[in-house]
Structure 1
Amino acid sequence: MKKILLLGAAGALILSSCVSSKKYGELEAKQKETQDLLDSATVKLNSCLEDKATADAELASLRKQNEMLRANNQELINNMGNLTTLTTKGAENLEKSLESLKEKDLTIRKLQDAVTRRDSINLALVQSLKGVLGNLDDEDINISVEKGVVYVSISDKLLFSSGSTTVSNRAKEVLGKVATVVKNKPDFEFMVEGHTDDVPVKSTAPFKDNWDLSVLRATSVVRILQDEFGVSPARMTAAGRSQYAPVASNDSREGKSKNRRTRIVVLPKIDQFYSMIEEGLKDPDIN
């Protein structure tokens, strides 16, 4: 009986051992399949993680670019505002510059008009003087215009004797003709200048030096114009330049002769010159 039981138990054990091996094989196969699936899922997961990291990096880059674009856009908006302000200021400055140029142009035109009128008056004066004095020798008298001023230069050999301050009778005739012209030009003032050469005066002369001589000759001419020809003394100035405004070298007799002269400087009155400018303002072409 015991043998039968032992044999049965052994058989059951053998049978049980055969079933466990089969199941083990199946389980092992399923385990391998599961491991393969796990490995595949792990690969896919890692790939997804890499893709996600790349996407996150791209997103961050895009966000950064977006922020930069927003900042640039705001800067452009600010610059446009600044540019508008600058353009407005530039337009205002340009308008002011144009106004300033117009004012300067107006001033220049007024001055040019005044100078033109002055030159016309001077030309008329020169023609009048040459008309009454044209028959005199050019060595004795010279009429010129320099920088808007009319000069009548008369040699001392015509006006005075050597070392004298007394006007000669022949010179009075010349001065009378000059007086006729200037009396008809009340808008002018004039200055009589005495000039000498560099030869010192004699110790016996009634004057101290060439300064005295030049001034006394000028006052002699002024008195003749006033007393004998009726020129208003308010329009005249007597001045002496001594030897210090020569027109030629004093190294020769000819040069000394040229330097000994009396010059009448005819000037438009300053207020008259400004009147010319004011009249220019009334010119419709200028306004």
Structure 2
Amino acid sequence: MKLYKSIPIMLFTLALAAGCVSNKKYAELQDTYSKLRERNQELSNKYQDSQRELSGSTSRVKSLEEQIASEKANVTALQDALNKCLNSSSQGNVNISKLVDEINSSNKYIKQLVNAKNKSDSLNMVLTNNLTRSLSKEELGDVDVQVLKGVVYISLADNMLYKSGSYEVSDKAGETLNKIAKIIKDYDTYDVLIEGNTDNVPIAQTNIRNNWDLSALRASSVVQVLQTKYAVDPKRLTAGGRGEFNPIADNTTAGGKAKNRRTQIIITPKLDQFMDLIGKAPEQSQK
């Protein structure tokens, strides 16, 4: 963190007095800047990995929902077949017994799937309610909490989080981040992605190349505050930036730009229990 704070001063001094510094000093500044670029690339790579994991989680949830729908349709088909057998001759007695067993097995499996999904949804709602209740009215003006497709999104306005034109976390954000950190630590089986977003106005700082850099550096700053100041396990944290390419409002207005300048804390439940249940799906008898 201290290194990042010194970079703008160093590069600004370099820009003003490039002809006055020694070759050694110039090389040191170049080396520091190269390290910053390498750090940014590491953050970008880590963010891409996290995006792939989040995409995989979304696909698994969709697969789960399709599995539930398929099982329900199968129960309906089995029930129809059972009704036909009941209206036919006594030769269907053996088939009736098999159909009853399959219906019971499928109903039990559906109940397991639904219970597991409901448990995850309930945990997300409790998490959201606990966080919302802990925030003051003033904080709620800068913090938006939503649950979308089983994932909790906490969106923080940049004017609350950062110093103007900087990626350094402000003192004003400390109390709010402390409350969020407590919730994150309470739900210690959830993964946490910190995602930086900007508007489409180009950044004008010598040590930040573009909005990709700015968004990634801001996300990294929040991650490091959660880790170092509020003791969140860094193994659960991922920092990434999306630059100006994930807008939620029109960038042609001042209000739209303000909404797009945000940092999201995305809390994702693990889906291991769902995958275990899908792997234990009852086999259907051949007809």
Coarse TM-score class (shorter-chain normalised): 0.5 to 0.7
Q: Using the alignment, how far apart are the partners of 2:242 and 2:99 within structure 1?
A: 47
Q: Give matches, 1:117-132, under 5 Å.
A: 117-132=119-134
**Counterpart secondary structure, 1:191:** strand
The match for 2:201 among 199, 210, 235 is: 199
Q: Using the alignment, how far apart are the partners of 2:108 and 2:250 within structure 1?
A: 45
Q: Give the CA deviation at 1:89.
A: 10
Q: Give matches, 1:130-209, under 5 Å.
A: 130-202=132-204, 204-209=205-210
Paired residue for 1:266?
267
| Pair 174,90 (structure 1): closer, same or farther in 2 beyond 3 Å | same
Can you give the 5+ residue segments of structure 2 that lack an aligned partner in the other structure? 1-88, 282-287
**Counterpart secondary structure, 1:223:** helix
Q: TM-score when scaled to structure 2?
A: 0.60
Percent identity of equivalent pairs:
39
**Could you report, residue by residue, the CA deviation over 1:221-270 in whole angstroms, capped at 9, with x for unpaired residues?**
00000001100001111111111221111110000000100000111123
For CA contacts below 8 A with separation 6 or more, give which structure has more relative contact order: 2
Q: Give matches, 1:1-287, under 5 Å.
A: 102-202=104-204, 204-271=205-272
**Counterpart secondary structure, 1:107:** helix
| Pair 136,102 (structure 1): closer, same or farther in 2 beyond 3 Å | farther
Paired residue for 1:80?
none
Aligned residue pair count: 192
| Pair 240,89 (structure 1): closer, same or farther in 2 beyond 3 Å | farther
Can you give the 5+ residue segments of structure 1 that lack an aligned partner in the other structure? 1-86, 282-287
Please tell me whether the aligned partners of residues 116 and 273 of structure 2 are also in contact (alpha carbons under 8 angstroms).
Answer: no
Across the aligned residues of Structure 1 and Structure 2, the Cα RMSD in angstroms comes to 2.8
Q: Using the alignment, how far apart are the partners of 2:140 and 2:231 within structure 1?
A: 27
Q: TM-score when scaled to structure 1?
A: 0.60
**Could you report, residue by residue, the CA deviation over 1:15-74 in whole angstroms, capped at 9, with x for unpaired residues?**
xxxxxxxxxxxxxxxxxxxxxxxxxxxxxxxxxxxxxxxxxxxxxxxxxxxxxxxxxxxx
Q: Using the alignment, how far apart are the partners of 2:247 and 2:106 within structure 1?
A: 39
Please tell me whether the aligned partners of residues 118 and 273 of structure 1 are also in contact (alpha carbons under 8 angstroms).
Answer: no
One-letter amino acid matched to 1:219? S
Q: Give the CA deviation at 1:185.
A: 1.4
